[in-house]
């Protein structure tokens, strides 16, 4: 980040994103005014009363796997998952100063769970399946005090006692243990809780205020209550009707009752006396995060939805919804900046660009959308899918208008599988006349389709590329288009004769291509980290600009007036460039994972960037004076 210290910053307007799939994905800050949740490799701090205010904690270099907040709210801790063979970080942040205090390394591959002691002196961390150790850290110094193998099976949860900071509990596959810490000798000893013949996989542990009982959520879908202190024995289980999908999250309410969330989206309030159901509601997606704010609750789900639940009548209200996986594409309709569309996994969503509310969702189960484009008149959303189909939808109704089967081959052994790219239809572009679509696939084919009413028919198929086609740009008069491919070539095609006009070669995977406004030049970027300007007539390289020092570039987008363009890539930085000088004039720093696509709005006032972590970020360009920079 040091190379951009002096560069002006883009103003971040809105962040849409929430990594809801991790356990304990949502926690409430004890000040009752803030919610904390993971988004890729960063933690988002969100004001409960102001949904558009977002602050971030950065410190991880890979996706966050667990979160914890200390009792007073002074400290926030997070653990991450990393590549096999590497150590996973545990980070401690100071909430008031919004800064990283300690980065601790001991666990291998993944940190499974975290918990602060009641006096905030210690932090307990549990490693993932490859590590499976429990470690006690000194919060003040960031150093390990002691550790031990957690169990011979996988351990999923950890919780401290409330009145004794030298006692904690862990739970996992067939295990439930109480640990006593011997600080003088730097040792930890465990006592297994007597469960008799009962076998359970414990997902969550919550210790009640007096330390007499603990409530443990299991994958079977029931809550086990165990008696602590001297006895350490099983006391009771409930509710009578088990929750489907297992219990993913547990939290104790101020009155001591047990609030649980299941993998099937059930939220139930259970009595602390006999674990009978007092209230329940069902939401979309497995409930992975629970937070108590006053007398109400916030819940987060695996489908990246966040709900507000009234504590009295259990009425739910959707507060936040976003993509739950890597967002593949983002597009604006031609000449209309008020809405934009994104695609991720099985769904396409249309958003209001100003309020960032979701206007429409289109879902195709068990399929993945790779790319999308609005037709010129805005009457269709044309999309490419991993099953080789082109599907077109109405942008207001979301209804399917037409579907073209086998538009591109889905070859299981194709090169795009080896490179890690998409399969099926990988690029789509509509012409300016509104009656043709140009598509590219993982099979290397470029195909032209004619739209007549609600049908779509093949006009031409052009085979030159040896690998997946990543991007297509079409000229204003619809006479030619240019395609960028993983085979290291960009080809200019004649759309009247359906032949190759010219070709550009480079030692790179071309990720994006755009025409300049007057179509005298072409702009490309790719895995060689460079932005290249090409003459559009003879296809010779005119200029080469280093786009990033460290990482591949995945996307670029030109402003409507041609004064600037925007790039995004694996370095996680949104960069705004002066077109004529080829200089980086502003940067946007907020993404915590690779940026997959960037797009400038048709009025040139906004930039939308999307990333691997599922984030959709809207940036304001209006404040930047492009000419004077």
Residue 469 falls within a domain, yes or no? yes
Structurally, how many domains does the chain consist of?
Answer: 1
Here the tokens at position 482 are: 């240019």
585-596: per-residue pLDDT in tens? 999 999 999 999
pLDDT over threshold 90, residue 533: yes
**Mean pLDDT confidence for 415-438:** 78
150-199: per-residue pLDDT in tens? 999 999 999 999 999 999 999 999 899 999 999 999 999 999 988 888 88
Here the tokens at position 160 are: 């401290």
Sorting pLDDT into bands at 50, 70 and 90, what band is 420?
Answer: very low
d(CA 345, CA 239): 35
**So what's the pLDDT on residue 461?**
94
Residue 362 falls within a domain, yes or no? yes
Chain centre distance of CA 487? 29
Residue 395 falls within a domain, yes or no? yes
Q: What is the DSSP string of 68-96?
A: EE-SSSSEEEEEEB--TTSEEEEEEEETT
Q: What is the pTM of this model?
A: 0.90
**So what's the pLDDT on residue 436?**
92
**So what's the pLDDT on residue 414?**
47
Residue 76 falls within a domain, yes or no? no
Domain carrying residue 572? 327-412+419-620
More confident residue, 233 or 283: 283
Lowest mean pLDDT of 227-241, 336-350, 614-628, name the range: 614-628
d(CA 267, CA 620): 39
**So what's the pLDDT on residue 410?**
81
pLDDT over threshold 90, residue 266: yes
pLDDT over threshold 60, residue 328: yes
DSSP annotation of 3:
G
110-160: per-residue pLDDT in tens? 999 999 999 999 999 999 999 989 999 999 999 999 999 999 999 999 999
Sign of CA dihedral 409, 412, 414, 420: positive
Sign of CA dihedral 69, 70, 73, 79: negative
231-262 CB burial, b ≥16 within 10 A, e <16: ebebeebbbeebbebbbbbbbbbeeebbbbbb
d(CA 470, CA 484): 6
Query: What value does the mean pLDDT of the chain take?
Result: 90
**So what's the pLDDT on residue 413?**
52
**So what's the pLDDT on residue 409?**
86
d(CA 371, CA 348): 10
Residue 589 Cα distances to 10, 25, 239, 353, angstroms: 8, 23, 47, 20
21-46: per-residue pLDDT in tens? 998 889 999 998 999 999 989 999 99
Residue 436 Cα distances to 379, 452, 508, angstroms: 13, 9, 30
Sorting pLDDT into bands at 50, 70 and 90, what band is 417?
Answer: very low
**Mean pLDDT confidence for 57-66:** 91
Sorting pLDDT into bands at 50, 70 and 90, what band is 311?
Answer: confident
**So what's the pLDDT on residue 623?**
64
Q: What percent of the chain has pLDDT over 70?
A: 97
Sorting pLDDT into bands at 50, 70 and 90, what band is 53?
Answer: confident
pLDDT over threshold 80, residue 478: yes
Residue 259 falls within a domain, yes or no? no
pLDDT over threshold 70, residue 418: no
pLDDT over threshold 50, residue 1: no
Q: Is the peptide bond before 362 cis (omega within 30 degrees of 0)?
A: no
d(CA 121, CA 118): 8
**So what's the pLDDT on residue 415?**
47
**So what's the pLDDT on residue 6?**
78
SS3 110: strand
pLDDT over threshold 70, residue 430: yes
Sorting pLDDT into bands at 50, 70 and 90, what band is 8?
Answer: confident
**So what's the pLDDT on residue 412?**
58
Residue 476 falls within a domain, yes or no? yes
Sign of CA dihedral 240, 244, 250, 253: negative
Residue 611 falls within a domain, yes or no? yes
Say if CB 481 and CB 495 are below 8 A apart: yes
Residue 535 falls within a domain, yes or no? yes
Q: What percent of the chain has pLDDT over 90?
A: 75
Lowest mean pLDDT of 60-69, 175-184, 271-280, 415-424, name the range: 415-424
Q: Residue 463's CB: how many other CB atoms inside 10 A?
A: 10
pLDDT over threshold 70, residue 454: yes
CATH number, domain with residue 489: 2.130.10.10
**So what's the pLDDT on residue 49?**
83
**Mean pLDDT confidence for 346-374:** 93
Lowest mean pLDDT of 242-251, 268-277, 411-420, 544-553, name the range: 411-420
């Amino acid at each position: 980040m040091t190379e951009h210290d002096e560069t002006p910053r883009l103003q971040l307007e809105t962040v849409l994103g929430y990594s809801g799939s991790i356990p304990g994905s949502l926690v409430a800050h004890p000040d009752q005014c803030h919610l904390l949740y993971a988004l890729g490799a960063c933690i988002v701090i969100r004001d409960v009363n102001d949904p558009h205010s977002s602050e971030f904690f950065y410190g991880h270099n890979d996706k966050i796997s667990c979160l914890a907040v200390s009792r007073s709210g002074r400290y926030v801790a997070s653990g991450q998952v990393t590549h096999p063979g590497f150590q996973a970080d545990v980070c401690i942040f100071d909430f008031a100063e919004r800064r990283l205090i300690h980065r601790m390394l001991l666990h291998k591959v993944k940190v499974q769970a975290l918990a602060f002691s009641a006096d905030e002196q210690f932090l307990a961390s549990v490693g993932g399946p490859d590590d499976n150790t429990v470690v006690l850290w000194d919060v003040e110094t960031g150093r390990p005090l002691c550790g031990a193998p957690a169990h011979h099976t996988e351990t999923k949860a950890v919780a401290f006692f409330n009145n004794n900071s030298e006692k904690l509990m862990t739970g996992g596959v067939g295990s439930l243990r109480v640990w006593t810490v011997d600080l003088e000798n730097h040792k930890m000893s465990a006592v297994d809780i007597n469960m008799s013949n009962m076998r359970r996989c414990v997902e969550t542990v919550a210790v009640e205020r007096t330390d007499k009982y603990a409530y443990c959520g299991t994958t079977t879908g029931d809550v086990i209550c165990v008696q602590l202190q001297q006895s350490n024995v099983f006391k009771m289980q409930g509710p009578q009707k088990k929750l489907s999908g297992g219990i993913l999250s547990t939290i104790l309410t101020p009155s001591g009752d047990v609030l649980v969330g299941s993998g099937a989206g059930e939220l139930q309030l259970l009595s602390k006396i006999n674990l009978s159901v007092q209230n329940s509601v069902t939401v979309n997606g497995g409930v992975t995060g629970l937070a108590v704010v006053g007398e109400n609750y916030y819940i987060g789900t695996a489908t990246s939805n966040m709900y507000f639940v009234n504590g009295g009548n259990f009425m739910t209200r959707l507060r936040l919804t976003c993509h739950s996986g890597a967002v593949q594409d983002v597009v604006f309709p031609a000449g209309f900046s008020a809405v934009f569309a994104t695609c991720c996994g099985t769904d396409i969503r249309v958003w209001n660009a100003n309020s960032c509310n979701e206007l429409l969702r289109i879902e195709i189960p068990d399929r993945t959308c790779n790319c999308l484009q609005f037709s010129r008149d805005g009457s269709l959303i044309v999309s490419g899918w991993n099953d080789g189909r082109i599907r077109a939808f109405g942008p207001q109704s979301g209804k399917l208008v037409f579907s073209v089967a086998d538009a591109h081959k889905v070859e299981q052994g194709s090169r795009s599988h080896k490179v890690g790219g998409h399969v099926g239809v990988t690029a789509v572009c509509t012409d300016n006349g509104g009656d043709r679509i140009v598509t590219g696939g993982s099979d290397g084919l470029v195909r032209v389709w004619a739209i007549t009413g609600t049908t779509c028919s093949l006009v031409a198929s052009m085979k030159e590329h040896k690998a997946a086609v990543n991007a297509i740009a079409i000229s204003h008069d619809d006479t030619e288009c240019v395609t960028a491919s993983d085979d290291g070539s960009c080809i200019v095609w004649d759309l009247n004769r359906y032949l190759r006009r010219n070709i550009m070669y480079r030692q790179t995977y071309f990720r994006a291509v755009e025409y300049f406004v007057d179509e005298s030049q072409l702009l490309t970027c790719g895995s060689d980290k460079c932005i290249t300007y090409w003459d559009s007539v003879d296809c010779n390289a005119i200029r080469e600009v280093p786009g990033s020092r460290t990482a591949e570039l995945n996307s670029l987008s030109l402003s409507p007036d041609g004064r600037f363009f925007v790039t995004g890539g694996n370095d996680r930085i949104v960069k705004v460039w002066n077109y004529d000088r080829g200089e980086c004039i502003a940067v946007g720093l907020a993404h915590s994972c690779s940026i997959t696509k960037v797009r400038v709005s048709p009025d040139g006032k906004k930039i939308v960037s999307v990333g691997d972590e599922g984030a959709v970020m809207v940036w304001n360009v209006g404040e930047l004076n492009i000419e004077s920079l």
